[in-house]
Structure 1
Amino acid sequence: MPSSSLPSTPLLPSLSISAISTHSYAAHFNSDFCIGTVPHGGYISASFLQVASVHFSSTLHGQNQPDTSILQLNFLRRTSAGPATFVVKDVKLGRATSIIHVTLVQNDVEEAVAYITQTNCEKETGVSMHTGWSVVPSAPAGRPPEAEKWEEVTDLPFLGFRKATSHVELWMPREDARRELPAGRVDQWMRMRSGERWTNVHLGYLADYFPLLIEFMEPNGKIGKEEGAVRAGAKFWYPTLVLNLEIKKRLPADGCEWLRSVVQMRHVRNGRNDLELVLFDEKGDLVAVSHHVCLVVPVSRNVSERRKDRVNVAGDNSKI
């Protein structure tokens, strides 16, 4: 069991999705999973996955498609801790796959929208092949805490502001091995501090969980430790605009203790950033692939007063 003095809150109980009707669901976003005043993007992504799971186990149980294969998520506006509603539209119901459109609403305003594709992994058939693809250069062999060349990261920057990052035990290659990796790349093993095990719903959370790449970058372009970020006074917020997630397999029914992810940031231009993240299980099998577009903005954008003239659900643009 992981042990740490850092606060730890299990993810799944914090999603609290309950049916209002056949196509609407109530949620309550836990402030423990916030970055500043805004719920963590991965927490919101996991909430969408949980809505799909509940919808296909209740309203659409006859489809027998319990597994999300694709999540395409757009964040329209800042979300907030507290009550929320998810509204579902059944777009396409098929024998092999089905697609739903899900809208997240808070205070009568659409905050995020997603298309979610469901399937049944146990019934999928078709061509399978190994292409020889691998992450190059590779990280040190083995899995922590036994592996010698991995170390736990306990000094995540600005942890009081980024509460959502405190719930995961994070291990990265030791400093000498880390410097051999390409610039803008993070290689990490993760498990929940609470002892909760990773399930497919958790993959939405992990698709947006990684150290702050820009604040870890040293002048030579390599990933360094927190001191460089503190010296520079860096304190940014990284709101996600778009998150796409493809899930390759169903994790075991009792979950996984550890998952590994490799995150690559290619280029930052004019405050807009791209990210690719790939997730592996303990056997090295590919679990999921995610791509992001996110912004790099001053932290004041996170805590500033919310505008009163946002577009409402009815599409009233008169106040803009």
Structure 2
Amino acid sequence: MLAAASAHLSSRGQPDTLTAHFEYPARTSPGPAIVVVEDVKLGRSQLSTLHLTLWQGGLRSEAPWITPSVSRRVILAHTTHANLSTFGGFSLPTGYGSSPAAALPDPFPDFDALKANGKDDGWEESRLPPISQALHSLRNWHFYLPRSGPLTPGVLDMWIRAASEERIAQAMLPYIVDSFPFTMHAYLAAPELRELLMGPSRDRESGSSAGDETSTAEDRDEEGQAEARASLWFPTVVMNLEVKAALPEEGAEWLNIRVTSKQIKDGRFDLEVLVRDADGEIIALSHHVALVLSIERNTTKTDPSTKASL
């Protein structure tokens, strides 16, 4: 959708997304889609505002492109665009920049070791269990999480790179801020609940220090926890994105992500996402409202003749 917006505004010299507000009134499905771009306000200098609608089902090859009684509006977006390479104005360092929260998580990773071995002394790749076959999008990224567990209670710190080995481009930021490892919920949970969600920690290279019977029991517990997690779907209801800086034209191989949640309650939760590059510069901020539902709500086939909803 943002690529369509960028193409629409390229002649005005405003190819970059500054802010985006997404709503998801219906479930998307693999296949063709039409993006309708509406001008809200076209700025002469710095900013232009658009409204975007992504349609699926009953699509036509010519205007009006959709069939009103069949096509579904599955994503709505309200976006602001600019040229980040020329955008300028007043700047002032904030107190946040000198606070501990602004520092990249310690230890800094050995990227070569992570690529070669999936781990280094401080970080380890998050592996998907076999039961997670339905979660296709998680296989598009390599997530590297702290080996010792959360570095700060209730905070998910991770490094991410594309599974395809391609560099992360600016246009991929909306996907980045809505992509999370399989065990995200266990990192966001209160510390006293983490063992319940993840099981007792152990040396995974040597098996178990308490013998084969304990190891088998722990494996069984992990399988049960993986099954419980795989039964859940976390659909995003609303997502806001603010782009703070442009990535290099050639893209970035690695990005650091920090995710926090203030409350997970009654099947609803919030997420705050901070995206930084390997030098610690803030690239993007994002805020989400999401639901906790049964995965069956995401695997049943969508009837194109009906207006789907969460």
TM-score range, shorter chain: 0.7 to 0.9
Structure 1: segments with no counterpart, 5+ residues: 1-47, 312-320
Q: Map residues 81-120 of structure 1 onto 2, 5 A cutoff.
A: 81-94=30-43, 95-107=45-57, 108-120=71-83
1:65 and 1:119 in contact (8 A); partners too: yes
Letter in 1 for 2:52: V
Task: Specify the SS of the correspondent of 1:76.
Answer: coil
Q: Which amino acid aligns with 1:72?
A: H
What displacement does 1:149 show?
A: 1.2
- In structure 2, how many angstroms separate the alpha carbons of the residues matched to 1:156 and 1:53? 38
Residue 55 (1) aligns with residue 8 (2)? yes
One-letter identity of the residue aligned with 1:150 = W
What does 1:228-239 align with in structure 2 at a 5 Å threshold? 230-232=223-225, 233-234=227-228, 235-239=231-235
CA distance in 2, matches of 1:50, 1:157: 34
1:163-187, Cα deviation, whole Å (9 max, x unpaired): 1111212111112xx244212x211
> C-alpha displacement at 1:281, in angstroms?
0.4
User: What secondary structure, in the 3-state scheme, does the structure 1 residue paired with 2:132 have?
Assistant: coil
Instruction: State the distance in 2 between where 1:135 and 1:123 align.
Output: 31
Counterpart position of 2:307: 310
Bigger CA radius of gyration: 2
Amino acid at match of 1:119: A
Instruction: Give 2:257's aligned residue.
Output: 261
Name the structure with the higher helix share. 2
| In structure 2, C-alpha distance between the alignment counterparts of 1:129 and 1:157, rounded to whole Å | 49
Q: Once superposed, what is the RMSD of the aligned Cα atoms?
A: 2.5
Aligned-pair distance for 1:66?
A: 1.3
Give the Å deviation of 1:207.
Answer: 0.6
Counterpart for residue 93 of structure 2 = 130
Query: Aligned ranges for residues 193-208 of structure 1 at < 5 Å?
Result: 193-208=163-178
Q: What is aligned with 2:157?
A: 187
1:143 pairs, out of 109, 112, 126, with: 109
| Residue identity in the other structure for 1:142 | F
What is the deviation of 1:109? 1.4
**2:264, 2:193 → 1: CA distance?**
13
Q: Measured at CA, do residues 130 and 157 of structure 1 come closer, stay the same or move farther in structure 2, by a change above 3 Å? A: farther
State the one-letter code of the partner of 2:307: R
Distance apart, 1:222 and its partner CA = 3.5
Query: Counterparts of 2:132 and 2:93 in 1: how far apart (Å)?
Result: 40
1:125, CA displacement in angstroms?
1.9
Of stretches 68-77 and 228-237 in structure 1, the one that deviates more from structure 2 is 228-237
Question: What is the Cα deviation at residue 148 of structure 1?
Answer: 2.6
- Residues 22-41 of structure 1 correspond to what in structure 2 (within 5 A)? none
Moved over 6 A (4+): 226-229
Task: Mark the runs of 5 or more structure 2 residues left unpaired by the alignment.
Answer: 58-70, 114-119, 200-218
Tell me how far apart the structure 2 counterparts of residues 278 and 200 of structure 1 sit (CA, whole Å): 15
Shift of 1:50: 1.7
Give a deviation string over 1:36-80, Cα, whole Å, max 9, x none: xxxxxxxxxxxx2222222223xxx1x101111101000010011
Partner residue, 2:142: 169
5 Å matches for 1:2-21?
Answer: none
Identity of aligned residues (%): 33
Instruction: Between 210-219 and 86-95, report the one with greater CA deviation.
Output: 210-219
User: What amino acid is aligned across from residue 51 of structure 1 in structure 2?
Assistant: A
Post-superposition shift, 1:301?
A: 0.8
How much has 1:215 moved relative to structure 2? Answer: 5.5
Give the AA of the match of 2:50. Answer: I
Q: Secondary structure at the match of 1:165?
A: helix
State whether structure 2 residue 247 is matched by structure 1 residue 284.
Answer: no
Cα distance in 1, alignment partners of residues 37 and 222 from structure 2: 42
1:76 aligns with 2:25: yes
Structure number with the higher strand fraction is 1
- Asked whether the equivalents of residues 172 and 189 of structure 1 are also in contact (C-alpha less than 8 Å), the reply is yes
What does the per-residue CA deviation read over 1:189-214, in whole Å, with 9 as the maximum and x for residues that have no partner?
01112211011111011111112433
Decide whether aligned partners of structure 1 residues 229 and 105 sit closer, same or farther in structure 2, where only a CA change above 3 A counts. farther
In 1, the alpha carbon distance for the partners of 2:185 and 2:130 equals 12
